[in-house]
Amino acid sequence: MTTSIHETVRDHYARIALNVVEDPGCCGNGDCCGTPNYSADELASLPEAAALASLGCGNPIAVAELRAGERVLDLGSGGGIDVLLSAQRVGPAGRAFGLDMTDEMLALARRNADAAGATNVEFLKGHIEAIPLPAGSVDVVISNCVINLAADKPAVLREIARVLRAGGRLGVSDIVADDDLTADQRAERGSYVGCIAGALSYREYRDGLMAAGLVDVTITPTHHETEGMTSAIIRARKP
């Protein structure tokens, strides 16, 4: 099951990355591009391809409160938009990491970083269920509508807690389901790669973060996606 989910998600987003490269006039395949979540100034500071490959449901940079010198990790970094914006916020004394499992997205992100002249970024290949960074190595973990795509979400939440330093924080945008929706009902409302079928409920998200050892968990709805499903900002802290 885990392998099939990884393959489905990887194939889907590989096609989007290739479409952006081959046809820069669109984000690829009818999915909703995430650029309306960003300000005009943020978009103007980025290569066009980074914005076109954004498929998120929010703007984690706006809620992560990044500070100069911090080390930040973006889970499911795609074309690199949130990594590049993070790199601007943390400055030359900080570092922004992007983690993605899709070769085509990683190639696009590295090309975008080169075009932006970003020298304090690093893109890593891997699964967000097994983050290839040492324990306690980052100050902030962000993500933009990606955790819902993970095959093993408890593993993702445990990995987030592992790589955060003491006092580090989580600030992500994601799709969240009402607590009374069953897994089958979520699947009826949208596909897995469409960020709906795999969404956690409010209770599942909160309990999972707390079980991973994080505290001060808040889940704030931002806008409606479909019946019983909302985009939300999820915050937490490692004690």
The percent of residues in the chain predicted with pLDDT above 90, rounded, is 57
pLDDT digits (tens, 9 = 90+) for 38-72: 777 887 887 776 666 566 677 888 888 999 999 99
> Which structure tokens are listed for 9?
């998600």
The C-alpha atoms of residue 159 and residue 213 are separated, in whole angstroms, by 11
Give the total number of structural domains in the chain. 1
Domain hosting 233: range is 2-237
Positions of the chain with pLDDT under 70: 1-3, 5-6, 8-36, 49-56, 191-194
pTM of the model: 0.86
Residue among 79, 53, 74, 77 at smallest CA distance from 64? 74
* Residue 122's CATH number: 3.40.50.150
Residues 6 or more apart whose Cβ sits within 8 Å of residue 197: 183, 186, 187, 189, 190, 191
pLDDT digits (tens, 9 = 90+) for 24-42: 544 444 443 444 577 778 8
Question: Residue 51's pLDDT is what?
Answer: 65
End-to-end distance of the chain based on CA atoms, in angstroms? 34
